[in-house]
A and B are shown apart, each in its own frame.
Chain A
Amino acid sequence: MARIDLVDLAHSYGGNDAPQDSFALKPVTMTWRQGGAYALLGPSGCGKTTLLNVISGIITPSRGRILFDGDDITPLSTQKRNIAQVFQFPVIYDTMTVGQNLAFPLKNRGVPRAEIDKRVAEIGRLLDLEPYLNRKATRLTADAKQKISLGRGLVRSDVAAVLFDEPLTVIDPELKWQLRSKLKALHRELDLTMIYVTHDQTEALTFADTVVVMHDGRVVQSGTPAELFDKPAHTFVGYFIGSPGMNILPAEVRGREARIGGHVIALNRSYDSLPAGAKIEIGVRPEFVDAVTPAPGLLTAKIDRIDDLGRIRFARVRVGDAKLAARSPAGFTSSDGTAGLKFDPSHVHVYADSLLVEGAA
């Protein structure tokens, strides 16, 4: 059990001298607190697995340090770190019984026999593996295998963190939900730090209390699901979290006004000192834009189509070249294929070079 600090940590598969742009993991400094349930979210190839493998020690980072409770463990091998990791594809030692599989990490570390039996029985009970403990670990279903893998990750009571590398990829959707709920329950019960890598936002948002979003080798935001939704720190977060994603529009911003084409949108805060020469965009979630009957003072948009999701309808519209999604109130129909867009000023964010700018009140 420990707090994990990453200090200026970076990794390049091409070595430390490779250009910074090619780093699989760009320098990151952050803290994982003891007992947290974290999700590491991002598209394939964004560096999630690299970060995970660096923490577990499978990869030695090109630069930076990893601290467990303040102790630098960067040079330590995986075996010497107190880390458990569960991989995407379940690994089973099939000459052993299920119970021996669970006992393997403890046996390797010379834990006394009685203690091993106790832990194996407990984890077996938590994962509902009890009836199978004495059976050879062959010919198992994919979810059974992954449960044993999970069990081997959870069986050590002294681990600083348990890392999950997309562990439910090979599991059927229905079982996925059950296993994920199980994991959440285990997290509550065992008080372990868990880091869960996934590219599925639903999986991340339901599992974690802190979601860390990665993009192109960089940690772009770390926060609660609500924070990610309400205040994306990066246009990528806005786009990646939420369905449909955030609307991003190039705009000119001066003071409390954003200008799109000739149209003015009011802002809640004042943006006076935007970096010069930066690409300025405004971002607003479709939930906070209403597509209504065109009227003076509203931004006019062309309607492509309206998606009816049951509880809510989203109009897919176009302003110039930019495509947007907007909430379409019940009963709204357009006679000429155009709509007026009404923005909720408190939820319009301003981005300079894709990064959120905090305005002045």
Chain B
Amino acid sequence: MDKTVNQKAWFLVAPVFLVVAFSAVLPLMTVVNYSMQDTFGNNQFFWNGVGWFKELLDPSTDLGGRFLASLGRNLFFSLVILAIEVPLGIVVALSMPRQGWTVAACLVILALPLLIPWNVVGTIWQIFGRPDIGLLGYVLNAIGIDYNYVSNDIDAWVTVIVMDVWHWTSLVALLCYAGLKSIPEAYYQAAQIDGASRWAVFNAIQLPKMNRVLLIAVLLRFMDSFMIYTEPFVVTGGGPGNSTTFVSIELVKIALGQFDLGKAAALSLVYNLIILIVCWIFYTVMTNAGAERKVQAESEPAVDFKASAGLKPVPALKPKEGVA
């Protein structure tokens, strides 16, 4: 069959090229352009080559030191919230009711934090934690715990982490709940018959069935927390000192605070690259996990009990045996 040649198709494709060019390619190229130059305002630019990138990766310079420190904080933050939110989400999903009106009630309550805009979440916690007028801060100080997220590093970290857990555990819980709901009742009945303890049921049935949604939950929560900006910025502004300054906050400080467009451009390119790489690793791991299973199944021929095991195909007459 000959391919139909229709040049009019370009009219349909061209707008897409234009939109992508203006919305993605040109801004990106601008950033690349900035990352190679230095500016002292007045729209004057000076060529700097890969200088910013060299500085960025060298901890002894100011830029590199700030970048690597914030990157470390960011990774630590992601690890901590994953370590809390994933197990907590599983526990919440497990303790949710399976039927009745309480299901709807639970779902609504769980979904509420997810529906609140980031900066509102930040504002809520900013006020909630204040020692003078915030409920949490006031009560904590009243019972003798010296809590002040503005002056104490640890308090600031705890606040930011608790806030993220409050905001996003629901997502993990809802994903896990969906995974749990897909388990047929027969599995639980069989486990009962098999005398399985609560832990054995979790281990043998629930966890394996939640595997996929958990991978998705981890991926989503990691990417989100790695790019976190609004909430900690609203609550702590990156402080006290630089203690809760994550990469995105550092980036905004450099770009808009100091107006160092060159450094900021270089940083954002590297930041972007890190996210892309992590995404790619996750994607590969996930698809590989699936492919591995497939390959394994294919290399051992599908278990075909009827042909290979004792139940050999019998002559067609056999079934008549035993007819009453």
Q: A108-B196, A128-B310, A152-B194 are in contact. Are A140 and B186 (CB under 8 A)?
A: no
B314 within 8 A of A: yes
B257 CB-CB contact with A under 8 Å:
no
- Name 30 A/B residue pairs within 8 A (Cβ), A-sorted: A56-B193, A57-B192, A58-B193, A77-B192, A78-B193, A79-B192, A83-B193, A84-B193, A85-B189, A89-B184, A91-B186, A95-B208, A105-B193, A129-B305, A129-B309, A132-B309, A135-B303, A139-B302, A140-B305, A143-B306, A143-B311, A144-B304, A144-B305, A147-B305, A152-B190, A175-B311, A177-B319, A178-B311, A178-B318, A202-B323
Interface size class on chain B is 35 or more
State whether B204 touches A132 (Cβ < 8 A).
Answer: no
Enumerate the 4 nearest inter-chain pairs by beta-carbon distance, A residue then B residue, closest first.
Answer: A128-B310, A91-B190, A128-B309, A108-B195
Q: State the Cβ distance, A82 to closest chain B Cβ, in Å.
A: 10
Taking the complex as formed, is A264 at the interface, i.e. its CB lies under 8 A from any CB of chain B?
no
| Interface of chain B residues 270 through 314 with chain A (CB within 8 A) | 293, 296-297, 300, 302-306, 308-311, 313-314
Chain A residues with Cβ under 8 A from B308's Cβ?
A: 131
State the Cβ distance, B184 to closest chain A Cβ, in Å.
7
Chain A residues with CB under 8 A of B16: none
User: Knowing A91-B187, A129-B309, A177-B319 touch, does A85 contact B193 (C-beta < 8 A)?
Assistant: yes
CB-CB nearest in chain A for B297: A139
Q: Complex: how many Å from CA A141 to CA B297?
A: 12
Interface residues of B in 43-98 (CB under 8 A from A): none
A272 close to chain B: CB less than 8 A: no
Structural contact, B305 and A143, CB atoms closer than 8 A = yes
* Residue in contact with B190 in the complex, picked from A79, A83, A149, CB distance below 8 Å: A149
B135: Cβ under 8 A from any A Cβ: no
Please, how many angstroms separate the alpha-carbon atoms of A135 and B187 in the complex? 21
CB distance from A100 to the nearest CB of B (A): 9
User: B197 at the A/B interface (Cβ < 8 Å)?
Assistant: yes
Contacts of A129 in B (CB 8 A): 305, 309
B324 at interface by CB-CB < 8 Å: yes
Bound Cα distance A136, B192 (Å): 22
Contact with B along A145-183 (1 / 0, CB 8 A): 001010011000000000000000000011101110110
- Across the interface, which residues of B come within 8 angstroms of A91, CB to CB? 186-187, 190-191
Q: A224-274: which have CB < 8 Å to B?
A: 225
Contact assessment for B324 and A206 in the assembled complex, using a CB-CB cutoff below 8 Å: yes
Encode contact with B along A199-224: 1 for CB under 8 Å, 0 otherwise. Answer: 00010011000000000000000000
B residues sitting closer than 8 Å to A (CB atoms) are 184, 186-187, 189-197, 200, 204-205, 208, 293, 296-297, 300, 302-306, 308-311, 313-314, 318-319, 321-324
Chain A residues with CB under 8 Å of chain B are: 56-58, 77-79, 83-85, 87-89, 91, 93-96, 104-105, 108-109, 128-129, 131-132, 135-136, 138-141, 143-144, 147, 149, 152-153, 173-175, 177-179, 181-182, 202, 205-206, 225
A181 CA to B195 CA, complexed, in Å: 28
Q: Are B306 and A141 in contact (CB under 8 A)?
A: yes
Cβ distance B116 to chain A, nearest Cβ, rounded Å? 37
A292–B187 alpha-carbon span in the complex (Å): 57
Once the chains are docked, how many angstroms separate the CA of A104 from the CA of B205? 12
Q: Which residues of A contact B190 (CB under 8 A)?
A: 85, 87, 91, 149, 152
Nearest Cβ distance between residue A331 and chain B, in whole angstroms? 27
Known: A87-B186, A89-B184, A178-B311. 12 other contacts (CB 8 A): A79-B196, A88-B186, A140-B303, A144-B304, A174-B319, A175-B306, A177-B319, A178-B314, A178-B318, A181-B321, A202-B324, A206-B323
Q: Is the CB of A108 within 8 A of B197?
A: yes
Distance (whole angstroms) from the CB of B309 to the closest CB of chain A: 4
Interface centre among B194, B200, B306 (most CB of A within 10 A): B194
Contact A104 B194 (CB under 8 A): yes
Cross-chain contact A138 with B297 (CB below 8 angstroms): yes
Give the chain B neighbours of A181 by CB distance below 8 A. 321-322
Question: Hey, which chain B residues are within 8 Å of A131, CB to CB?
Answer: 308-309
Distance A128 CA – B304 CA, assembled complex (angstroms): 12
Chain B residues near A141 (CB-CB < 8 A): 302-306
